[in-house]
Structure 1
């Protein structure tokens, strides 16, 4: 159910948001928020998206390694065997071109 309510004062609207947002109504949680113009919603969405990207990058900072100048004979498995003594590996991959030839680089991610 969707309701729009107009108040005569900003204070009454703010009190209502504070008092009702998150409360249960007929077994459902209420979502009460100030109505926003399209550009306000877009700006808020963009900020939240950028923040989530930043948090994901901060969380994985230092967990993933880029390795280059690999010999063409290095396989995914030999790459894993080389890095396993340094910690728990979550993924590893030798980068290859469409023909399957090694590009001489890889990514190794740790937990």
Structure 2
């Protein structure tokens, strides 16, 4: 019994070859009232140490792919989780799905997505929350834009977040913080690894001037002349794209909210930020 009600059917989706769980499933109730009660009661409840997300199943693929009601939020305080983000934005309309992007250790990357049922709710949320302070951070809220729809010409001028790759293997968190701290006050910095072992860092400055100074000084600068390797910093392509999304298109890339049935049933889930 999921949520104290009797289910009509329940199944966990698995990989066709390995039979390993894909991390999502479907529960079908006899009544809408029971489904609504489960949604309200169990959403973001911890299951084996991980908060689950419960949302309505959208069978219409066009509705799932509609990004007009999907918004992007960045600059989130590390304390903001899925539930806190949902509670903040649910006052503007019915939310189909809501997610804060996290790394492999469950630490927030500072951005997330909210997918509304109605486009009007998304517009109101952008108007009301953009530039507002949530917890200890001022957030940017804008319409979500797919990667293929972004143009190279839409470069953000007032960025504060930097993505750093091709770093020497000896660099650690302290080295990143010290080096980039020379150009201005750093709000946060973190050194991370992708699933295939590639290293990258995220640095967020207090001001856009400091971020630009760091880019001007360090972009493609040879940090290990004896090996001829370069360190590279990248700036955001446009206002609604997370800065951490330049290195990995699969996992670290955009995470547009979509129904898992749109992806191939493989051992690796396709993600939707």
TM category, shorter? 0.3 to 0.5
Q: Which entry has the higher C-alpha Rg, 1 or 2?
A: 1
Higher helix share: 1
Higher strand share: 2
Scaled by the length of structure 2, the TM-score of the pair is 0.21
